[in-house]
Each structure stands twice: as structure tokens, then as C-alpha cells.
């Protein structure tokens, strides 16, 4: 399976956010909200860091 | 305080120091005394007013009921973990071992079937993606400490790792374009399984609902 860096990052974030949400929260609604937040945080921070590292590339 | 300076306590610096201590303590004494005097006067005033106050209607007093916590007033921790006997060490060990061997099995044994299925699918799915990207299996014989740590991290996934080796997975291809991503997926799947084991342990002890 050949994935780009961003695709691998997104897939990784999805799996980790699912596990974090299930382990951290109790109800389904809380788990979904928390999982989405964690997923967005993972991807968003990675994008921001990528732009920050761009001048040093 | 031993005075080695000429003049002893009458030396200007010592004099100032001792005088300041005296003022500080006496002012505190006077403050305390004055506060006591004020309290006494207020008490006397209230007592004198009580003589002219109309006696209050006797209120039917009920014995002070001891506040008992209802189910709703219980703290979330208490509500989440009602008093239950602590499981034996053997059962805890067996639970953790099962949770390690198969991702999600610990939660399944504790009755959290939905969580068990989701955890199993997520962790094993991550592991399979790592295999698909030709992630590397580490070995303990490596001179690198990081590789040894990586071995134990990958071993934390449980049965899937030896099962992959049994079914012909050759340990990955480091020259594959996505091999590094695959290795990260394999290691992270193992670490997530460790979190799952710890969560099952906490639930068994009643620390979490």
C-alpha cells in the first residue's frame, strides 16, 4: 500500500483519535465529539508545523 | 542573640533591630487585645438587645437529619464505582494478559462489548495498515537501544505480531517507499494496546465506569 505522507498522517490520526475517544469518554455523543476534536487537532497541527518548517526545507 | 559588636545591644543596628521587634510584637499584642475587647463589647451589646427583643415563635425543630448522599448527590467517582470487592490479583493478571494478547478482549471480558469491538477494529486495523506499508519488525538482538524498544513496542500488540510472522510476513522491507510510515503504524498500534490494557485494569478496579 503506497500512501503519501498526508494520507498516512490522516489515517494514523483517524485510528488514534478513535482509540482515544473510546478510552476517554463514556457516552457515544461525547466520544464522537472528542474523537473529531482530536482528529482535527492532529491534522491541523501537522499542517501548521509543515508550514512552519517550510522556510527551513 | 549573641552580640559581638561593640556596645552589645546598645549598638545602633542592634538597637534598631530589637526596637522594631518590640514594636512589632507589642502592636500585635495590642491588636489582639483590642480585638478581644471589641468582641466582649459586641457580646454585651447583643445580650442587652436580647432583653428587649420579642421572643421568637418557637419553631418546631426537627432533629438534624444526617445528610445522606443520595444516588444523585454522589460524586461522579462514587457513582461510577459503587462499592465492590477488589478483584483478586490472579483475576487482574488474567484480565491484563487477555487484554494484551487480543486487543479489546479485556473490555469484552468486563462486559463492554461495544468498546471491545471498536478497540479491536481500530488497533488491529492500524496494525494491518502497518503491515501493508511494509513496516519493519524489530528484533532484540539489535545493538541499538531504540530498536530494542521498538521490538517491545511492537510486541505490545499481542498475538497479531507472531501471527503475522507465522503467516509469512518477512519483517518488512526497509527499502519500500512507505516502510517508515508502516513501522510507525506498527509501533503505535502496540502503544495503543498498552493504553487499552491499562484502561481495562482501571475498569476492573472500579476506578472508571
The ipTM is 0.90
The angle at the Cα of B8, spanning B7 to B12, to the nearest 5 degrees, equals 70
Q: Which of residues 128-167 of B touch A (CB under 8 A)?
A: 129, 132-133
Domain locations along chain B: 10-49, 86-205
> Mutate which of A19, A27, A34 to disrupt the B interface (most B C-beta within 10 Å)?
A19
Nearest to B164 by CA among B140, B195, B129, B193: B129
The angle at the Cα of B8, spanning B6 to B13, to the nearest 5 degrees, equals 85
List Cα–Cα distances, B8 to B11, B70, B115, in angstroms: 6, 69, 79
Nearest CA in chain A to B130: A1
From the CA atom positions of chain B, what is the Rg in Å? 36
What are the pLDDT digits (tens) for B31-52?
Answer: 445 556 556 666 666 666 655 5
What are the pLDDT digits (tens) for B106-151?
Answer: 999 999 999 999 999 999 999 999 999 999 888 877 788 888 889 9
Q: At what angle do helices B145-155 and B179-205 cross, to 10 degrees?
A: 60
A15 to chain B, any CB pair closer than 8 A? The answer is: yes
**What DSSP line would sit under A30-54, residue for residue?**
HHHHHHHHHHHHHHHHHHHHHHHHG
pTM to 2 decimal places: 0.66
Distance from C-alpha of A21 to C-alpha of A32, rounded to nearest angstrom = 7
Among the partner residues B122, B133, B178, nearest to A18 by beta-carbon distance: B122
Amino acid at each position: 500500500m503506497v500512501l503519501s505522507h498526508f494520507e498516512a498522517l490522516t489515517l494514523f490520526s483517524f485510528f488514534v483519535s478513535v482509540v482515544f475517544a473510546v478510552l476517554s469518554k463514556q457516552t457515544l455523543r461525547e466520544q464522537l465529539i472528542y474523537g473529531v476534536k482530536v482528529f482535527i487537532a492532529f491534522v491541523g497541527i501537522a499542517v501548521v508545523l509543515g508550514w512552519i518548517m517550510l522556510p527551513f526545507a | 542573640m549573641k552580640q559581638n559588636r561593640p556596645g552589645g545591644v546598645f549598638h545602633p543596628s542592634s538597637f534598631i533591630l530589637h526596637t522594631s521587634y518590640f514594636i512589632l510584637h507589642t502592636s500585635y499584642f495590642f491588636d489582639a487585645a483590642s480585638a478581644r475587647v471589641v468582641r466582649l463589647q459586641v457580646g454585651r451589646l447583643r445580650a442587652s438587645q436580647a432583653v428587649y427583643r420579642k421572643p421568637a415563635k418557637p419553631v418546631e425543630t426537627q432533629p438534624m437529619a444526617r445528610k445522606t448522599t443520595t444516588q444523585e448527590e454522589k460524586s461522579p467517582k462514587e457513582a461510577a464505582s459503587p462499592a465492590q470487592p477488589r478483584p483478586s490479583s490472579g483475576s487482574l493478571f488474567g484480565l491484563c494478559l487477555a487484554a494484551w494478547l487480543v486487543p479489546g478482549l479485556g473490555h469484552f471480558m468486563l462486559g463492554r462489548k461495544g468498546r471491545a469491538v471498536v478497540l479491536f477494529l481500530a488497533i488491529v486495523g492500524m496494525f494491518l495498515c502497518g503491515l501493508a506499508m511494509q513496516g519493519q519488525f524489530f528484533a532484540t538482538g539489535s545493538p541499538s537501544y531504540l530498536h530494542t524498544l521498538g521490538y517491545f513496542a511492537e510486541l505490545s500488540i499481542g498475538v497479531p505480531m507472531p501471527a503475522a510472522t507465522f503467516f509469512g510476513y518477512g519483517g518488512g522491507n526497509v527499502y519500500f517507499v512507505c516502510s517508515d510510515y508502516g513501522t510507525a503504524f506498527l509501533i503505535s498500534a502496540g502503544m495503543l494496546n498498552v493504553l487499552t490494557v491499562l484502561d481495562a485494569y482501571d475498569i476492573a478496579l472500579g476506578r472508571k465506569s
